[in-house]
Structure 1
Amino acid sequence: MRLTRPTSALAAAALAATTLGLVAGQAESAGATRGTHGPVAQRPSSQEHRETPPPKKATVYGRGGAVTSVDADASRIGLRVLRHGGNATDAAIATAAALGVTEPFSSGIGGGGYLVHYDAGTGKVRTIDGRETAPSAMPHDAFIDPKTGEPYNFTPELVTSGVSVGVPGTVATWQRALDRWGTRSLGEALAPARKLARRGFVVDRTFHQQVRDNKVRFEAFRPTKRLYLKGGHAPKVGTRFRNPDLADTYRLLARRGTKAFYRGTLTDEIVRSVRRPPTTRTTDLPVPRGFLRAGDLARYRAVDRRPTHSDFRGYDVYGMGPSSSGGLTVGEALNILEQFPISSMDDGAALHHYLEASALAYADRAAYDGDPRFVDVPTKDLLSDRFARERACRIDPDKAFKKPTKAGDVTSYDGTCGAAAAGPSAATTDTENVETTNLTVADKHGNVVEYTLTIEQTGGSGIVVPGRGFLLNNELTDFSPVYDKADPNRIEPGKRPRSSMSPTILLEDGKPFLALGSPGGSTIITTVLQTIFNRIDRGMSLPDALAAPRAQQSNATQKSVAEPAFIDLYADDLRPYGQRLTPAGDGFGSTSEIGAATAVEFGPGGFLTVAAEPTRRGGGSARVVTPTPAG
C-alpha cells in the first residue's frame, strides 16, 4: 500500500523539531570605509542600534532563474546577478563570496568545496574538485602527540591548530568555474560581497550563538578575538557586523586574481599563520603548529573530475566523484533501493529499507573511497547495478542486519543472492563537522550549479589570517588520525582528505529535474539521499521532501541517528524491524538537526520550485527571478 502519513504532517513535524530562530538579512546603511589591515568589526556598543533582518521564504515558485542558500543576503546577491544578465556560474560564485561574509564559520576563502555544473548548451554535467590538500611536508604521524606517542585529542588539539589546516581551494575553484562557464571576471563576481563586507549585515541568532560557542577557541588567537569578540563578547543579535579586512582581501583578489592568494604576500601571511599561529598570551589551548609552505599554495590546482553517474527509476543521477565520497555513496544507496518496490510499502517498511541501504553504502565508502591520486577507487564497481543487486541481498525485509557490517567484495560479485563474498571490515568514525554550506543556482538558459563549500569545524581552525578577515580551515581532521596503509583515507602529503559533500543533479530525458545539496558532515550523504528518496519513492513534493524529519544510518553502530521529530513519528513503525534510533546531537556535531539542504526542481515550461530549509539552521532563503503562484 501507499505511504500513510500526509507530507504536510512530515513538514509540520520537522518545523516543530528545530530550534534556531532569527536569521541573517541585509538592511543596508552607509558606513565608514576602512584602510587595509585595520582593526575591525562592528560599531562600538555606544553606537549600537538593533535592526530587523528582512524575512526569508523557504519555498518560492516561478521562472527565469533561481538562487537558494541558507542566507538572505547571499541569495539576494545571487538573484541580482541573474537579473542583470549573469549566468548560473556568475551567480553561484557571487553567492558563495557573500556566504563567506555572512556565514564565515561555515565557508570562505580559507576553505574548499565541490561544484557540479550542468551546461544547457551541451547537456553535459561536469564537476570541479576544490578540496583542500595536505602540505607536502606533512608526515604520516602528524596527528600523533610527540610528547605522549598517542593521537592528539580531536578537541581541542586538532580542531584548534595549524596542523589541521589544508591548502585552501575555494579561490581556485571560483576562478576555474568562471573560466569554464562564467561570463564575468572574478572581480565582478566578488564586487557585491565586497560591498556587503564593508557595509555590514545584521547579526542573527545563529551567528551570535556560533561565536559564543567558539569563545574559548576564538580567544586563543589575536586576530580572531579582535574580529569576533570585540569587548570580549559575541556580536549582539540585531546589530550590524562589518568586516572591512575581508572587503580589502576581496578587492585584492579582484585586482590581482588568484596569484594574490597562491603566490603573493597573502600566501606568506597564510603560511605564517599556520606554522606560527598568532596565539594570545592568555590561552591555555595547545595549538599544534602546521606544516604548510608557500610552495604548497603555488602548486595547488582545482581539479576537473568526471562526475559519478547512476540511474534511479528513470532519472540520471550525477554527483561528485572522489575525493568526495558523496556521489558514490548516494548513487550506490539509490541503486540498492531500486531493487525494491518502495512506493508500495508503508512508512515502516520503506524507512527500514532506506536505513539498511544507507548502512551498506557507508560500509563500502569506508572500505574503498579516497583521493583517486593515491587510492584506486573502484568507481564502476560501486555504481554497478549488478553489485547493487548483490548488496541488496543483505537486506532482510523483516529484520535489521547487525552493524557495523563488512563491505562488499568489489572483486567478486555476480548480482545474485548466493553466498556473496565479504569485503574488508568497514566500521568507521567520521569527524566531519556539520557546519558547511550549500547553494543551488539555475539561470534562464537552463544552466545549473550545485555547490557545497566549507571550512570544516564551526569556525574552522579558529585562526583568522591577521588583517585579512577570513578563517582558515581545519579540513585535514577528515583524515583518519592513525596511519594505516590499508585505509584509503590515510594521511599522505599532497592528498585530499575524504569528504561527504554531495552536490547532486538529476536529469530526466537529458534535462534537469532536480538539483540539491546540503551541509552536515557525514550526514550530508543521507540528507541528499533521503530527500531524493522522499521525493521520488515516497511521492512527496519537493518542499515536503526537504522539510521532512531525517535519520542517518552510517554503519557505525546498530542505532541510527535521528532528529527528534523522526523518532516521534517513526520509532513505533520501525521497532518491529529491529531498527533502533538515538537522538541526533548525542555524538559529534552537538545539534539535533541533520543537514540544511537547498534544492531546485525543474517543471514543464521552465517552471521552478525553489526550496530551502524552513527552520533548520535558522531557515534558508529561496529566491526566483519571476515569482508565480505554486503549480
Structure 2
Amino acid sequence: MTAKKRFAASVLLAGLLLSSTACADARREQPAAAHPPGAAIASAHALATEAGMQMLRQGGNAFDAAVATSAALSVVEPISSGLGGGGFFLLHDAKTGKDIFVDARETAPAAATPAEYLLQNGEFNRDRAENGPWSAGIPGLPAAFVHLADKYGQLPLKTTLAPAIKLAREGFPVYGRLARGYASRRAVMERYPGTRAVFLAGGAPIKEGDVFKQPDLARTLESLASKGFDGFYKGDVAEKLLAGVHAEGGRWTAQELAGYRVKERAPISFKYRDWRIVTAPPPSSGGIALAEMLQILQGWDLRKLDEAHRIHLVVESMRRAFRDRTFYLGDPDFVKIPMRTLASRDYAAGLRATIHPDKATPSDLLSGQQTPLEDEETTHFSIIDAAGNRVAATQTVNLTYGSGLIPPGTGVLLNDEMDDFALKPGTPNAFGVMGYDANAPAPGKRMLSSMTPTFMESPDRVAVLGTPGGSRIITMVLLGVLGYDQGLDAQAVAALPRYHHQWMPDEIEAESGAIPGPVAKELQAMGHGLDLPSDEAAGGRGSSHVWGNLQTVLWDRKAGTLTGGSDPRNPVGKAEVMAAPAAAKAR
C-alpha cells in the first residue's frame, strides 16, 4: 500500500472513530462534586497576585480576586495593560455550573474610518495606527470591574480596588522590563505632556529600582471605586479623557464614552481527547483557532510520534487556523461568522485530510511579513477559589505602553488597539497578521483579538491558563493544552518551549532551544521554512529568544492538590496557593 493510500485509510478510520464516539463525548458524566483544597492565583506580578489573595482572605470569591488582580496589574504593568485598555474574562460559576465570557474589548470611535489611517499618497499611516489618540479605542477594562463586582462578586469596588489605589499612590519598585519598555517607546511617549508628567515626574525617565508613583491614576481609581461606571465614563474623569484626546487631534465623543458596555457572550466549548475545553468566542480569534487546531490534531496520538513529526502536524494545524482567522473572523455583532462550521469536528476532519504526514503544505498566497519580536504586551492571570469558581483573564493595551498617550490629570495610559483592525485590507498589522472586511473598523465595533483565556476539564483535572504574546497567544495556549494532555504539571506547562506558525509568513518561528538542530533539519527536509534564533549568526532574521508570559493554575481532583505555574521567563510573576478554611469549602 502506498503512503498516500495509507494516509487516506488512516483519515477514514479516524473519522469513523470520531463519529461513533461523538454523542458519548458531547455530554460526559461529571465526577462526584468536590471543592478544591484551597485557592490559587497565578499572575504576571507578585503584587497583583497578593492583591487577589487579599480579597480571598477578606471573604471574597474568585471574581472579587479577579477585579483586585486586574486592577493591580493595571497599576504595576502599564507596559502591558491598564484602565485605558480592555480585556476578556472567562468565568466559571461553581454554584450554577455555568461558563460565562465577559467581553470588555475596546470599541472603535465613529471618527476612526479607514481613510483616516492613510497618508496622502494612499500608503498606510503606521504611526497614526500605533501611536497617539487615533490609535486608541474606547476603553473597556473599567466597565469590566463594575460588571464583575455588581453581578458576580461579594465585595464592593471600594474594597477590591483598594490594593490598586494604594499601589498607585504609594508606588512600587520599577523592574527591568518596565524600564526597558519605556526606553524603547520614549520618543513616542514624550510627545505628550500628560505622559511626560507621569513618567518624567522625577525629572528623568524611570529606571530599575525607582519607586514609581502614579497619583493621578490613584484618583481615577478612587473615582471608579466610589461612583462605579459613572466615575470613569462620565463626569470629571471622562471630561479629562476627552480633553486630552482632543488636544492631540483625536475625535472621541462624550456619547461614545458614556455608551460603552461590556458584553456577555457564550464561550466556545469542545472536546479534545478526555478534555472539555472552554475558551474565548469572537471578537477573540483565539477560541475558534484553538478548536480548529485541536480537532485537527484529534486524528493523531501526538504522544506516540517522534518530535519532528509531532511539530510538523502541530504546525500544519496552526497554518490552517491562521488562514481562516485572516478571512472570516471579526466582531460578531457586525459580521456574520461561520462559527459552527469553523469550530466543528467535520470541518476539522476535512482540513486534516489535506495534511501530508511527511510534507509541509506551502501557504502559497501573498507573501507575509516578519512577526515582531515581542513579549512585553498584554498580561494574563488565572484563578481558582475554594468554592470551585474560576477566572481566566487576559487584558491589554496592545503594543508596549499602548498609544503612549496619557490624557493630563487622569494617569490613564490609552491603548493602541485600533491597529488590531484591518485598517487597510491585506496590510499586516504590528504582529504581522492580515485581515480583510470582516475586521474593518466601524463605529462601536470591537477589533479582532488573539487573547485566548481558557479552561480545561477532565475527569481528574481542571486547569486555567492563558498568556500574552500578540498573535503567538493562540499557539502558546495550544502548546499549553497539549502539555497538560501529556500529563505535565502547572509549572512545567508554564515553562514549555514555544514555536509558532501563522500562515503568513510561511515559516516556523521558535524560541531559543525550542527546536533542536537535528529536529530542525528533519523539518526542513519536509519542506518547512524555519526562522530560529540561531539563524542570526548566519545572517538570518532570527526570532525573539523568549515569548509570552503564561500563567496557569491546576486542580488535580484525583490527588486533591492545587498548584500554580508562573512563567519562568518573567521574574516578577508569581503563583500562590492558599489553603481553604472550612467555611470556604462549604460555601
Corresponding residue for residue 442 of structure 1: 384
Offset of residue 303 of structure 1: 0.3
Q: Give 1:483 shift.
A: 4.9
1:589/1:576 Cα in 2 relative to 1: closer, same or farther (>3 Å)? closer
* 1:206 positional shift: 1.1
Provide the residue aligned with 1:46 in structure 2. none
2:405 alignment partner in structure 1 = 463
Alpha-carbon distance between aligned partners in 2 of 1:292 and 1:508, rounded to the nearest angstrom = 46
2:562 pairs with one of 598, 608, 611: 608
**Maintained 8 Å contact 1:366/1:428:** no
Counterpart amino acid of 2:520?
Answer: A
Q: Which moved more, 1:428-437 or 1:468-477?
A: 428-437
162, 166, 176: which is aligned to 1:205?
A: 176
Partner of 1:335: 295
Give the superposition deviation at 1:404. Answer: 4.7
2:354 corresponding residue in structure 1: 394
- Residues 404/291 of structure 1: CA separation in 2 closer, same or farther (3 Å cut): farther
Matches within 5 A, 1:548-587: 548-568=496-516, 570-583=519-532
Alignment equivalent of 1:103, drawn from 77, 83, 105: 77
Mapped contact 2:283–2:331 kept (Cα < 8 A) = yes
Q: Deviations over 1:576-605 (max 9, x none)?
A: 322232137999998432211101111026
Matches within 5 A, 1:187-586: 187-230=158-201, 233-277=204-248, 289-404=249-364, 434=375, 435-483=377-425, 487-509=437-459, 513-536=462-485, 538-568=486-516, 570-583=519-532
SS of 2:437 mapped into structure 1: coil
Q: Does 1:134 align with 2:134?
A: no
Q: Distance in 2 between matches of 1:433 and 1:138?
A: 26
Q: What's the TM-score once normalised by structure 1's chain length?
A: 0.80
2:524, 2:368 → 1: CA distance? 23
Q: CA deviation at 1:256?
A: 1.1
* Contact 1:317/1:507 (<8 A) preserved: yes
**What does residue 579 of structure 2 align with?**
626
Q: Which amino acid aligns with 2:413?
A: L
Report the RMSD for the aligned CA atoms in angstroms.
Answer: 2.4
Cα 1:483–1:346 change in 2 (3 A) is: closer
CA distance in 1, matches of 2:372, 2:113: 20
Q: Is the 8 A contact 1:500 1:522 kept in 2?
A: yes
Partners of 1:138 and 1:208 in 2: CA distance: 32
Deviation at 1:232, TM superposition (A): 5.2
Distance 1:173 1:426, change over 3 A: farther
**Segment of structure 1 superposing worse, 599-608 or 240-249:** 599-608
Structure 1 counterpart of 2:24: none
For 2:182, give the aligned amino acid: V
Cα deviation for residue 433 of structure 1 reads 6.8
The one-letter amino acid of 1:481's match is: L
Deviation at 1:475, TM superposition (A): 0.5
- Are the equivalent residues in 2 in contact too, given 1:441–1:449 (CA < 8 A)? yes
Once residues 480 and 456 of structure 1 are traced to their aligned partners in structure 2, the CA distance between those partners, rounded to angstroms, is 15
In structure 1, the residue corresponding to 2:134 is in which secondary structure?
coil
| Partner Cα separation in structure 2 for residue 150 and residue 72 of structure 1 | 44
Matched, 1:158 2:129: yes
8 Å CA contact retained: 2:360, 2:527: yes
Residues in 2 aligned to 1:350 and 1:431: alpha-carbon distance in whole angstroms:
26
CA 1:562 to 1:589, structure 2 compared with 1: closer, same or farther past 3 Å? closer
Per-residue deviation, residues 151-186 of structure 1 (Å, max 9, x unmatched): 10x2x3321121111000001111112222111122
Q: Which amino acid aligns with 1:150?
A: E
Of the structure 1 ranges 582-591 and 227-236, higher mean CA displacement relative to structure 2 is found in 582-591
CA–CA separation in structure 2 for the residues paired with 1:426 and 1:222: 40
Specify the code of the residue in structure 1 equivalent to 2:108.
Answer: A
Distance 1:380 1:589 in 2: 37
CA contact (8 A) 1:483 1:491 kept: no
Secondary structure in 1 matching 2:579: strand
TM-fit CA distance, 1:426: 11
Q: Distance in 1 between matches of 2:571 and 2:219?
A: 29
| Counterpart check, 1:592 vs 2:534 | no
CA shift, 1:431, in A, is 8.2
Number of residue-to-residue matches in the alignment? 530
Secondary structure of the residue aligned to 2:564 is strand
In 2, the alpha carbon distance for the partners of 1:589 and 1:608 equals 38
Paired residue type of 2:78: P
For residues 592 and 275 of structure 1, the distance between their equivalents in structure 2, rounded to whole angstroms, comes to: 40
Q: Which amino acid aligns with 2:210?
A: T
Deviations 1:423-468 (A, max 9, x none): xx99798889750000011111010000000111111111112122
Gaps of 5+ in 2: 1-35, 427-434, 581-587
2:196 is matched by which residue type in structure 1? K
Is contact 1:560-1:582 (8 Å) kept? yes
The whole-number CA distance in structure 1 between the counterparts of 2:66 and 2:439 is 30
Residues 498-535 of structure 1 deviation map (CA, whole Å, 9 limit, x = unaligned): 000000011225x8611100001111000101111122
SS at match of 1:540: coil
Residue by residue, what CA displacement relative to the aligned partner does 1:49-89 show, whole Å, maximum 9, x if unpaired?
Answer: xxxxxxxxxxxxx9410111110111111112112211000
Distance 1:600 1:402, change over 3 A: same
Contact 1:165-1:274 at 8 Å conserved across structures? no
Cα distance in 2, alignment partners of residues 165 and 572 from structure 1: 44
Moved more, 198-207 or 605-614: 605-614
CA distance in 2, matches of 1:539, 1:404: 36
Q: Is the 8 A contact 1:367 1:426 kept in 2?
A: no
User: Hey, what does 1:76 align to over in structure 2?
Assistant: 50
Q: Distance in 2 between matches of 1:591 and 1:181?
A: 39
Query: Structure 1 CA distance, aligned partners of 2:451 and 2:123?
Result: 30
Q: Tell which has more relative contact order, 1 or 2 (C-alpha 8 A, sep 6+).
A: 1
Question: Which residue, 116, 120, 123 being the options, matches 2:94?
Answer: 120
CA drift of 1:226 comes to 2.0
Percent of paired sites with the same residue: 36
Relative to 1, partners in 2 of residues 1:427 and 1:339: Cα closer, same or farther, differing over 3 Å?
farther
Cα displacement (A) at 1:373: 1.1
Aligned partner of 1:422 in structure 2 is: none
Cα distance 1:590–1:436, how it changes in 2: closer, same or farther (>3 A)? farther
**Would the aligned equivalents of 1:431 and 1:477 in 2 still touch at CA under 8 Å?**
no
Pick closer, same or farther for the CA change 1:432–1:180 going to 2, 3 Å.
farther
Tell me if the contact between 1:367 and 1:488 (Cα under 8 Å) persists in the aligned partners: yes
**Residue equivalent to 1:280:** none
Shift in CA distance, 192/486, structure 1 to aligned 2, threshold 3 Å = closer
The answer to whether the 8 Å contact 2:42/2:573 transfers is yes
1:69 and 1:518 map into 2 onto residues whose CA distance is 10
Q: 1:445 to 1:589 in 2, by over 3 A?
A: farther
Q: Secondary structure at the match of 2:394?
A: strand
Task: Compute the TM-score of the two structures, normalised by the length of structure 2.
Answer: 0.86
Q: Deviations over 1:350-373 (max 9, x none)?
A: 111111111111111111110011
Match of 1:58 in 2: none
Q: Partner letter of residue 138 of structure 2? A: V
What amino acid does structure 2 have at the position aligned with 1:444? Answer: A
Counterpart residue type for residue 495 of structure 1: K
Larger mean Cα displacement after TM superposition, 481-490 or 511-520: 481-490
Q: Secondary structure at the match of 1:94?
A: helix
**Native 8 Å contact 2:240 2:409 kept in 1:** no
Conserved? CA contact 2:374–2:547, under 8 Å: no
